[in-house]
Amino acid sequence: MDVKEFVSYLRVAKGPSSNGEYLCKCPAHDDRTASLCVGTGADGRILVKCQAGCDTRDVVKAMGLKMADLYSDLIKRAVNDLQRTYSLIYVDTLNIRTF
Ligand SMILES: [Zn+2]
C-alpha cells in the first residue's frame, strides 16, 4: 500500500503537505492534538512517527495492519528487480529468497 491508502485507516487532521506528509490522530494513544506524522521514505517505505513517543509497532497494530504493510511497495519494487535477474523467486512477507 502507499501512504495515501495507509492514512485512509487514520483520522487525518492535516495534509498532504507539499512533501507528501500527513498529520493524523494517533490510534495508539488518546491523541487530542494529532501527533502522528506519516510520510514516505526515499526508498518507498511508509514512515510513521508519533510525537508522543508511541512505538510504530503499537500504532500499526492499533490500525489493524502489519509492519509489513509499511514496506509492501518497497518489497514489490525489490521483487520486480529480482524477477529481472532470477527466473523463480519465493516471497514470504519480508523474507525474499532466490533460487
Ligand atoms: Zn501515539
C-alpha dist (Å) from residue 92 to 41, 43, 51, 72: 23, 20, 32, 12
Query: pTM of the full predicted structure?
Result: 0.77
Name residues with Cβ closer than 5 Å to ligand 1, which is an ion.
26, 28-29, 50, 52, 54
Percent of the chain with pLDDT over 90: 63
CA of residue 27 to ligand 1 center, whole Å: 7
Neighbours of 15 (CB within 10 A): 18
Q: What is the DSSP letter of 78?
A: H
CA of residue 29 to ligand 1 center, whole Å: 5
pLDDT in tens, 18-27: 999 999 999 9
Q: Is 91 strand, coil or helix?
A: strand
Distance CA 27, CA 9 (A): 10
Q: Phi/psi zone of residue 13: left (φ > 0), alpha (ψ -120 to 50 degrees), beta?
A: alpha
CA of residue 58 to ligand 1 center, whole Å: 8
Over residues 2-7, mean pLDDT: 94
CA of residue 49 to ligand 1 center, whole Å: 8
Q: Decide if pLDDT at 61 tops 80.
A: yes
Q: Domain map of the chain by residue range?
A: 3-72
Q: Decide if pLDDT at 52 tops 90.
A: yes
CA of residue 87 to ligand 1 center, whole Å: 43
